[in-house]
């Protein structure tokens, strides 16, 4: 069994405890989470995500999805709201894949088998990655599960959505619709 960085292990243990007590999506039980772009250090900046492919032996790289609107959903098998968020993102993906929407799920589970068991119970067809050493979670200072980062076609974070309750769905759908309606960024012409 891999032992994560001690501070991250403590954070994950506290998060798991909070998940059981408070539903893990918000800091105040029953409080809806943010559905619009919020002030956040990541908003307006590119996001780098490279992680192990949870369904294979390769590596998943967010950069390969440039030109698409992407939901990067960080989740964990112990997170109760993740069991609602993942199927919601699957529905969005199924509905809007032809419009250029992609979803990249990233498990922060310490053990791969826990993530694989979750996916057997909550099946998806979108790309799934595994933050095997929790380096992404630590770098991004994830303190809430699930946390979704909404990326525009230019590869910039447009919103960070922490937690998940059913009431979040209309706001997230509206945000995704607006981003899908935006034109793709122009490709720079090469030397001529």
The pLDDT of residue 39 is above 80: no
Q: For residue 122, give the 3-state DSSP assignment.
A: coil
Arithmetic mean of pLDDT, 142-148:
93
What are the phi and psi torsion angles at 101 (to 5°)? -90, 135
All domains of the chain in start order, with CATH: 33-181 (3.40.30.10)
Task: Give the model's pLDDT for residue 42.
Answer: 87
What are the phi and psi torsion angles at 37 (to 5°)? -55, 135
CA 76 vs CA 6, 89, 126, 144, 149: distances in Å: 18, 15, 16, 10, 15
In b/e form, how buried is each residue of 37-50, taking b as 16+ CB within 10 angstroms?
eeeeeeeeeebebe
pTM of the model: 0.79
């Amino acid at each position: 069994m891999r032992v994560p960085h001690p501070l991250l292990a403590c954070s994950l243990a506290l998060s798991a405890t909070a998940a059981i007590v408070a539903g893990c999506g918000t800091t105040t039980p029953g409080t809806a989470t943010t559905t619009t772009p919020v002030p956040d250090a990541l908003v307006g900046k590119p996001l780098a995500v490279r992680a192990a492919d949870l369904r294979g032996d390769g590596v998943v790289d967010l950069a390969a999805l440039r030109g698409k609107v992407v939901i990067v959903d960080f989740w964990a098998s112990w997170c109760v709201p993740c069991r609602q968020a993942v199927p919601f993102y699957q529905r969005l993906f199924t509905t809007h894949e032809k419009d250029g929407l992609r979803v990249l799920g990233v498990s922060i589970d310490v053990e791969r088998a826990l993530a694989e068991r979750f996916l057997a119970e909550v099946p998806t067809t979108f790309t799934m990655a595994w933050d095997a050493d929790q380096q992404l979670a630590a770098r991004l200072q994830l303190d809430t599960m699930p946390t979704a980062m909404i990326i525009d076609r230019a590869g910039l974070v447009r919103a960070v959505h922490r937690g998940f309750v059913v009431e979040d769905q209309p706001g997230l759908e509206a945000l995704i619709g607006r981003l899908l309606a935006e034109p793709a960024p122009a490709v720079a012409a090469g030397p001529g």
